[in-house]
Amino acid sequence: MRMTLGSAVVGAAIVVFSVIFVVVAMPVLVFHPTPSDIAEPYTAAQLRGRQVYEANGCFYCHSQYIRPQDWNQPGVTDSNGRVAQSGDFAYQQPTMLGQHRNGPDLSEEGGVHPDDWQYAHFFNPRFVNPKSIMPQFSFLWTTDSAGNVTPTQDLKDLVAYVQNLGGKLADERYAEQVSQKALFANAIGAQANPNVPGDVSGQFSDTNQKALLSVVPQKFWTLLDPVPPDQRSLIDGKTIYVTNCIGCHGVQGNGEGPASQFFLNPYAYNFTNAKNMTSGLSTSPGSLYEHILYGIKGTAMQPFGQDLTVQNIWDLTNFLYTIPNGGLTAAEPTMDMFIQWRPSTELNQLSNAPLVSPGQGSAQISTQPPIAYRQPNQAWH
Amino acid sequence: MSSATGTIAPPRYPGYAASRRMSWLESLSQPNSAARNFIYSATFWVAVTDTIGLVTSAEFVDPDLFGGIPWLEFGRVRPMHVNGVAFLWLSMGYVGVFFYIIPKLCGRPLYSERLANITMILWNIWGVALILTLGAGMTQAREYAEAIWPLDIWFVILLGLTAYNIFMTLATRIEPKLYVSVWYIIGALVWFPNVYMIGNVIWNPPFGALQGIDDSVWQWFYGHNILGLWFTTGGVGIAYYMIPAITRTPVYSHLLSLVGFWTLGLFYTMVGQHHLLQTPTPGWLKTVATLGSISLFVPVLTFITNIFMTMRGNWQKIYESVPLKFIITGVIFYLITCIQGPFQATQSFNRLIHFTQWIIGHAHLALLGAFTFILMGACYYVIPITLGRRIFSVKLAEAQFWLMTLGFLGFFISLQIAGLIQGACWMTTNHSVYWCLTAIRPYLIARSVSGALMVSGGWIQLYNLYKTATAGEFITAPAPAAVEAGGL
């Protein structure tokens, strides 16, 4: 074949444009997915937040679709009972499917965490997740002349967008976060002053203990730790605590980690109260296990089921009972620091009642509508 | 002659005018000045944007390293690095080498040296604007297509000016035959501006995107074809010129190069969808992409066969010629890239490695291992030969070669291991992304360290080319063959 300028130019154009017709033009001509059951248009704030998400390149590390093999798999959020459908993206321009997962998939992120967790996380992701390698977004906050640090409108919009990831499902989860947060705010009540860091006395109040109990299945209420609190278990538990929990619960275990001090409402739980850890209504090993495994909706407590094994969680639970006796301040926790939790008379009475769903009468939260217990990854059903 | 002092030398090449000072404007119309200026600019950009790449990799190791500085936030620095190496280092370097090759193969000077130099200046200003806008968070949020609309238009104009210059040179050529490199350059210049305009949805200024999931189909058609229809096409064209020229051996087979050229255009255009194999997009597109990706063995193996058969009996020359050493290494990395690529595009393997660091390793194997090595070799060929000066320091160039090669191998292998760990972690254990991140941290540290070696290679090239241009020894001995060969 003799190549001339004409044959090279025209030939090159014909070859490539015929393939372009197939792989670029034909999809647009024939493929018009209708909006799926969860797709919904963005509000103005969400749209602005989406631009902040674009501008800061969030999509380089966070994908926005759940693959068939990711279904209920790690790497995605805990609300991943749904594989992405083509109609989910109907209102997106551009779509940000993403090519890498240096962070978790965010397509169902909306409503998985409450707003206060999001703000703490954007300020510094290590505050709530010490293993995270996400950049700080502290530049999305402003400091006024009085020294008050407040989120900019950009950040508020960004949180609005993130809380909508997952469309209508996200809205449903977010509504649950809001109502659960109201439950805990009511339960802690006026005894806790959110402006005074460290005033967490409201956490041990009867109403708050019962609110915490209300999100745990009854069979966990008086469950004891199946892993014996030996030296290995306590040391492993401390390692897990230090690498996962200090951002909120603090290096002393008193709930004064940086995230908790500056951002969270309600505060992270205070484990230093010996009385509460000995016979508290909501501090049974079973309750703590359940909280660590599934998190607590409405609070910044996130599910650790994908980061920790079952034994990890029981070890951590064992370790928490050494904190009032200096488990965190001593070089290593010893078995004599361990507090054996025993159910109180009140809890025995509550748990001897006929087995019901939590929130349906056992915990007396009269001002709140009953909240049905749901596992986090079943939230959308 | 005063060549011993290295101050004055007789002009050996047309347009070589060291004997009197030129005005700046005059220097812009000297033959080959545009080729050199493009290569100098490209070398500057590779040093800068690779350093930016080192910043991104350091942020993997210590995310709080530049915490709270908006323009150094990972999601803004990463596109600076990617766009910088793609559109400033590789693209400017390619155009510079094209501006040298095309006149050589046409038997006449470039159509307009002054226009080419104006393109160079506009391109550099574009580059500064690109880096600044990305740092300020102005982006269209599509990988490789981040540049905002005015910069898109500006870039298409730059490509148009380049293409005009080269096609006018071709239309008025003296040598009637079109050598294989010229086809590839023609292909690259016909395809790339079109791919760029389609991929950037350039007729939709506010978004630069379609609505709905079709946008992803377009985005990855584009994302893969700036590689296939520009970097591969241009790089292969350059290798087809440089290797026969340096070894003074004709290309082994005209037929193989024909097959390679036409199948490249046919198969590469199909493959974009292999980035979206597990997305809810039409299945037939995925099938086309997988088949196209596997068919890429045809253009790749024809090219590799042709090059290696041309090298038959010439292998010892890689010890004599720094440019050849770089280019042959690049060709070998190209072969590895193109063996990996088709396997990655199959559903079963893609399921394991998609979303992982493996992909970063593969992308660098193509753009860094293959095409950066080919282009660095071409830079070390074009600059001395058009200046009539020897490379300032061959030892430095050798050091650069080994820093780049060893650094790249460390970089590549650690990322591949990290990717397999991540993929296995997600598929077989019940752990979150965070847990898997701690598992790959040692490999990310190894990646940053070996990345630093490569970055130093870029700065060495900048220094070496600068010293070659200002203090390189003039070539006076009548050994044009060795000089032509990029020899020492």
Q: What is the pLDDT of residue B24?
A: 78
- Over the stretch B57-111, which tens digit does the pLDDT of each residue have? 999 999 999 988 999 999 999 999 999 999 999 999 999 999 999 999 999 999 9
Q: What is the pLDDT of residue A373?
A: 36
- Over the stretch B352-366, which tens digit does the pLDDT of each residue have? 999 999 999 999 999
Whether B414 contacts B447, CB under 8 Å: yes
Helix H, strand E, coil C: the string for chain B is: CCHHHCCCCCCCCCCCCCCCCCCHHHHCCCCCHHHHHHHHHHHHHHHHHHHHHHHHHHHHHCCCCCCCCHHHCHHHHHHHHHHHHHHHHHHHHHHHHHHHHHHHHHCCCCCCHHHHHHHHHHHHHHHHHHHHHHHCCCCCCCCCCCCCHHHHHHHHHHHHHHHHHHHHHHHCCCCCCCCHHHHHHHHHHHHHHHHHHHHCCCCCCCCCCCCCCHHHHHHHHHHHHHHHHHHHHHHHHHHHHHHHHHHCCCCCCHHHHHHHHHHHHHHHCCHHHHHHCCCCCCHHHHHHHHHHHHHCHHHHHHHHHHHHHHCCCCHHHHHCCHHHHHHHHHHHHHHHHHHHHHHHCCHHHHHHHCECHHHHHHHHHHHHHHHHHHHHHHHHHHHHHHHCECCCCHHHHHHHHHHHHHHHHHHHHHHHHHHHHHHHHHHHCCCCHHHHHHHHHHHHHHHHHHHHHHHHHHHHHHHHHHHHHHHCCECCCCCHHHHHCCCC
* Residue B363 touches partner A, C-beta closer than 8 Å: no
- Over the stretch B245-289, which tens digit does the pLDDT of each residue have? 999 999 999 999 999 999 999 999 999 999 999 999 999 999 999
B402 pLDDT more than 90: yes
Q: Of residues B4 and A295, which shows the higher confidence score?
A: A295
Which of B183, B213, B426 is nearest residue A74 as measured by Cβ atoms? Answer: B426
Task: Give which of A82, A133, A306 to mutate to test B binding, by max B Cβ within 10 Å.
Answer: A133
Q: What is the pLDDT of residue A80?
A: 55
Task: Give which of A101, A310, A377 to mutate to test B binding, by max B Cβ within 10 Å.
Answer: A101
Q: Domains of chain A (ranges plus CATH)?
A: 44-162 (1.10.760.10), 193-378 (1.10.760.10)
With an 8 Å Cβ cutoff, are B60 and A133 in contact?
A: yes
A73 pLDDT more than 90: no
Q: Of residues B435 and A119, which shows the higher confidence score?
A: A119
* Residue A90 touches partner B, C-beta closer than 8 Å: yes
With an 8 Å Cβ cutoff, are B355 and A99 in contact?
A: yes
**Phi-psi region at A75: left, alpha or beta (left = phi > 0; alpha = psi -120 to 50):** left
Q: What are phi and psi of B270, to 5 degrees?
A: -80, -20
Chain B residues touching A100 at Cβ < 8 A: 355-357, 359-360
With an 8 Å Cβ cutoff, are A133 and B59 in contact?
A: yes
Which whole number is the average pLDDT over A270-297? 91
ipTM: 0.90
What fold characterizes domain B311-488?
Answer: Cytochrome C Oxidase; Chain A (1.20.210)
CA nearest to A104 within chain B? B433
Nearest CA to CA, how far is B336 from chain A (Å)? 22
Q: How confident is the model at residue A12 (pLDDT cuts 50, 70, 90)?
A: very high
Q: What is the pLDDT of residue B477?
A: 60
Q: How far apart are CA A250 and CA A298, in angstroms?
A: 20
Q: How far apart are CA B277 and CA B300, in angstroms?
A: 23
Q: What is the pLDDT of residue A1?
A: 76
pLDDT above 70 coverage of chain B, percent? 93
Q: What is the pLDDT of residue B16?
A: 52
Which of B73, B278, B431 is nearest residue A56 as measured by Cβ atoms? Answer: B73
Q: What is the pLDDT of residue A353?
A: 67
Query: For all residues of chain B together, what is the average pLDDT?
Result: 91
With an 8 Å Cβ cutoff, are A5 and B186 in contact?
A: yes
Query: For all residues of chain A together, what is the average pLDDT?
Result: 85
With an 8 Å Cβ cutoff, are A74 and B214 in contact?
A: no
- Over the stretch B459-468, which tens digit does the pLDDT of each residue have? 999 999 999 9
- Over the stretch A53-64, which tens digit does the pLDDT of each residue have? 999 999 999 999
Cα B56 to Cα B44, B83, B364, B458: the distances in Å are 19, 13, 14, 17
With an 8 Å Cβ cutoff, are B280 and A84 in contact?
A: yes
Amino acid (1-letter code) at residue A200 = V
Q: What is the pLDDT of residue B68?
A: 86
B49 pLDDT more than 50: yes
Which whole number is the average pLDDT over A58-87? 77
Can you read off the two tokens belonging to residue B372? 């950066």
B476 pLDDT more than 90: no
- Over the stretch B149-164, which tens digit does the pLDDT of each residue have? 999 999 999 999 999 9
Lowest average pLDDT, out of A191-200, A232-241, B384-393, goes to A191-200
Closest residue by Cα to residue A227 from A240, A236, A217: A236
* Residue B453 touches partner A, C-beta closer than 8 Å: no
Closest residue by Cα to residue A51 from A189, A161, A211: A161
A196 pLDDT more than 80: no
Q: How confident is the model at residue B28 (pLDDT cuts 50, 70, 90)?
A: confident
- Over the stretch A197-252, which tens digit does the pLDDT of each residue have? 445 567 888 888 888 998 898 888 888 889 999 999 999 999 999 999 999 999 99
Q: Which of residues 234-273 of A touch B (CB under 8 A)?
A: none
Chain A residues touching B272 at Cβ < 8 A: 23
Which of A17, A75, A93 is nearest residue B211 as measured by Cβ atoms? Answer: A93
Task: Give which of B173, B213, B279, B431 to mutate to test A binding, by max A Cβ within 10 Å.
Answer: B213
What is residue A286's three-state secondary structure? helix
* Residue B298 touches partner A, C-beta closer than 8 Å: no
Q: Which residues of B80-118 are buried (b: 16+ CB within 10 A; e: fewer)?
A: bbbbbbbbbbbbbbbbbbbbbbbbbbbeebbbbbbbbbe
